[in-house]
């Protein structure tokens, strides 16, 4: 797990620009401007850039052409010179025209929040699927912005700048180029979606394969940087001593964790071995953030869909973050978007070591909330107990006639102690079982 960035290398400087307006419609959960600016700083750092200065303005509404007021936009251009900044990054979302105008005024690339998140994702994507997903989201983001890029050429080619003639009937260079670009991009988006569809089919097959393995699936979800990957690694370490001989050791299966937004972009699924053989599959995936660009949610849908099929969601929250309630709301909204709104959940309040000590705060706060720390290990055994209870513990009674060919199913049921009675019959094995929910679908096809 080495950091690919050379810490000594000078990072490109960016000026962070924020507009405090009455118009807060782009803030999904209505979090504060200050919180959003702090988060933007972390996002800029996650993009391997450094914030060299910050500029804010209070306005009733963004200016249509330049987002900032004209004077402020000029001030920004001066700051770019003074701090030798290479980028300007805006807290809100800019229209294509605003972006283009601000780029002309400052002379450096201007990004907004969506741009920045897409850029982080494109730098981090490692697997083929993640790379395709990011490319697709990027192209969909670029499509409406092409007009801004070719506007100036369109004007030159269309009516000329000398003011001599009327409109020519033929299209301007910009317009033609725009059409060509649009067609090419649409074609590429189509290609990407086909390739992603194929990968999605493989994923579905893999999922079905895992289901035949008859283990409950537990998915880690939550706001970025909450500690999902750290929790997975902690559980992998604990599971190491229960790993049967001959199985790959967990040390080789650890996932990347770092104090950085969007450290994880791909989904990893690992088997967690437990001492009482109530093993489960744990998945770790990309974190959520407020206003996650829509194109990205769409593009990452298949990766995130693991959550929809999970038996249990562990919603990991950074309990020491003053905005964790916002993070929880953003997570719930995203889950609803992914049609995982009804999956059983446990709220895991991580980083409890950073909270002021409070003897009146129990580790298990209520039926579905638990305080843990992956740093100190506090609450981890209680968490494992809870996972066990919410997966294997919710048994359903069933009587079934298993065909002799389903020895695998019988074995799995034996391992987790679900069999109440077993009797060999000429046409199969008659069983009475109190079986955990993840077995139920598979078993119910043989119900009598």
Report the interface residues with ligand GTP, using CB under 6 A: 224-230, 257-259, 261-264, 287, 350-351, 353-354, 373-375
* Least spacing, CB of residue 443 vs ligand GTP, in Å: 35
* Least spacing, CB of residue 353 vs ligand GTP, in Å: 5
Q: Which is nearer to ligand GTP, 262 or 280 (CB)?
A: 262
The binder of 225, among Mg ion, ligand GTP, none, by C-beta within 5 to 8 A per type, is: ligand GTP
Q: Which is nearer to Mg ion, 264 or 391 (CB)?
A: 264
Q: Which is nearer to ligand GTP, 185 or 364 (CB)?
A: 364
* Least spacing, CB of residue 354 vs ligand GTP, in Å: 5
Q: Which is nearer to ligand GTP, 28 or 422 (CB)?
A: 28
Query: Cα–chain-centroid distance for residue 39?
Result: 16
The binder of 374, among ligand GTP, Mg ion, none, by C-beta within 5 to 8 A per type, is: ligand GTP
H helix runs in 23-68, sequence order:
33-46
Q: Which of 57, 133, 136, 229 binds Mg ion (CB under 5 A)?
A: 229
What is the three-class DSSP state of 401? strand
* Least spacing, CB of residue 230 vs Mg ion, in Å: 8
Two structure tokens written together for 131:
């790379």
Q: Which is nearer to ligand GTP, 353 or 442 (CB)?
A: 353
Q: Which of 263, 346, 400, 431 binds Mg ion (CB under 5 A)?
A: 263
Is residue 319 within the footprint of Mg ion (CB under 5 A)?
Answer: no
* Least spacing, CB of residue 330 vs Mg ion, in Å: 16
Q: Report helix, strand and coil shares of the chain as percent, to nearest 5.
A: 45, 20, 35
H helix runs in 319-406, sequence order:
324-337, 380-391
Two structure tokens written together for 286:
């990309």
**Nearest residue relative to ligand GTP (C-beta):** 287
The answer to whether 221 and 182 have CB atoms below 8 angstroms apart is no
Q: How far apart are CA 196 and CA 133, in angstroms?
A: 7
Q: Which is nearer to ligand GTP, 31 or 374 (CB)?
A: 374
Two structure tokens written together for 117:
């998140």
Q: How far apart are CA 85 and CA 71, in angstroms?
A: 19
**Nearest residue relative to Mg ion (C-beta):** 264
The binder of 375, among Mg ion, ligand GTP, none, by C-beta within 5 to 8 A per type, is: ligand GTP
* Least spacing, CB of residue 351 vs ligand GTP, in Å: 4
* Least spacing, CB of residue 22 vs Mg ion, in Å: 36
Please identify which residue in the block is written with the tokens 């092409």. Answer: 146
Q: Which is nearer to Mg ion, 130 or 429 (CB)?
A: 130
Taking residue 249's Cβ as centre, other Cβ atoms within 10 Å add up to 9
Give exposure, 31-50, as e/b (b: 16+ Cβ within 10 Å): bebeebbebbbbbbbbbebe
Q: How far apart are CA 352 and CA 93, in angstroms?
A: 34
* DSSP sequence for 228-270: HHHHHHHHHHHHHTTSPTTSPPGGGG-----SSTT---S-EEE
The binder of 114, among Mg ion, ligand GTP, none, by C-beta within 5 to 8 A per type, is: none
Contacts of 190 (CB under 8 A, 6+ apart): none
The answer to whether 387 and 232 have CB atoms below 8 angstroms apart is no
Q: Which is nearer to Mg ion, 116 or 255 (CB)?
A: 255
Q: How many residues bind Mg ion (CB under 5 A)?
A: 4
Q: Which of 106, 264, 331, 352 binds Mg ion (CB under 5 A)?
A: 264
Beta bridge partners of 435: 396
Pairing between β-strand 87-90 and β-strand 110-111 as defined by DSSP bridges:
parallel
* Least spacing, CB of residue 257 vs Mg ion, in Å: 6
Q: How far apart are CA 134 and CA 296, in angstroms?
A: 7
Q: Which is nearer to Mg ion, 263 or 282 (CB)?
A: 263
* Least spacing, CB of residue 126 vs ligand GTP, in Å: 13
Q: Which residues bind Mg ion (CB under 5 A)?
A: 228-229, 263-264
């Amino acid at each position: 797990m080495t950091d690919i960035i050379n810490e000594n290398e000078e990072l490109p400087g960016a000026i962070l620009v924020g507009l405090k307006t009455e118009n807060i419609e782009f803030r999904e959960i209505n979090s504060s401007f200050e919180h959003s600016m702090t988060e933007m700083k972390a996002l800029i750092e996650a993009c391997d850039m450094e914030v060299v200065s910050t500029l804010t303005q209070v306005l009733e509404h963004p200016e249509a052409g330049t987002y900032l007021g004209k004077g402020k936009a000029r001030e920004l251009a001066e700051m770019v010179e003074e701090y030798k900044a290479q980028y300007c990054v805006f807290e809100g979302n800019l229209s294509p025209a605003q972006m283009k105008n601000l780029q002309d005024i400052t002379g450096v690339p201007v990004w907004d929040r969506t741009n920045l998140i897409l850029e982080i994702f494109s730098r981090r994507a490692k697997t083929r699927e993640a790379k395709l997903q990011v490319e697709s989201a990027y192209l969909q983001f670029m499509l409406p912005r092409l007009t801004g890029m070719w506007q100036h050429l369109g004007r030159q080619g269309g009516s000329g700048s000398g003011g001599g003639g009327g409109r020519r009937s033929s299209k301007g260079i910009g317009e033609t180029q725009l059409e060509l670009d649009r067609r090419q991009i649409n074609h590429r988006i189509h290609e990407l979606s086909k390739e992603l569809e194929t990968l999605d089919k493989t994923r579905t097959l893999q999922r079905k394969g895992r289901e035949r393995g008859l283990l409950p699936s537990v998915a880690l979800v939550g706001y970025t940087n909450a500690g999902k990957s750290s929790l997975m690694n902690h559980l992998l370490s604990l599971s190491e001593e229960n790993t049967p001989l001959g199985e790959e050791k967990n040390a080789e299966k650890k996932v990347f964790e770092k104090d950085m937004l969007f450290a994880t972009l791909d989904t990893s699924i690992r088997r967690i071995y437990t001492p009482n053989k109530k093993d489960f599959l744990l998945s770790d995936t990309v974190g959520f953030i407020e206003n996650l660009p829509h194109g990205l949610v769409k593009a990452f849908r298949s990766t995130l869909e693991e959550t929809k099929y999970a038996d249990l969601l562990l919603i990991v929250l950074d309990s020491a973050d003053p905005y964790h309630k916002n993070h929880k709301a953003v997570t719930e909204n995203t889950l609803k978007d992914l049609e995982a709104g009804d999956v059983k959940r446990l709220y895991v309040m991580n980083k409890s070591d950073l909270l002021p000590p409070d003897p009146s705060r129990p580790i298990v706060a209520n039926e579905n909330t638990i305080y843990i720390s992956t740093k100190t290990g506090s609450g981890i055994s209680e968490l494992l107990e809870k996972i066990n209870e919410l997966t294997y513990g919710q048994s359903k009674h069933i009587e079934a006639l298993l065909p002799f060919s389903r020895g695998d199913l019988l074995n799995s049921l034996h391992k987790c102690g679900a069999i109440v009675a077993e009797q060999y019959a000429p046409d199969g094995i008659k069983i009475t079982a109190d079986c955990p929910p993840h077995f139920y679908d598979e078993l119910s096809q043989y119900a009598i």
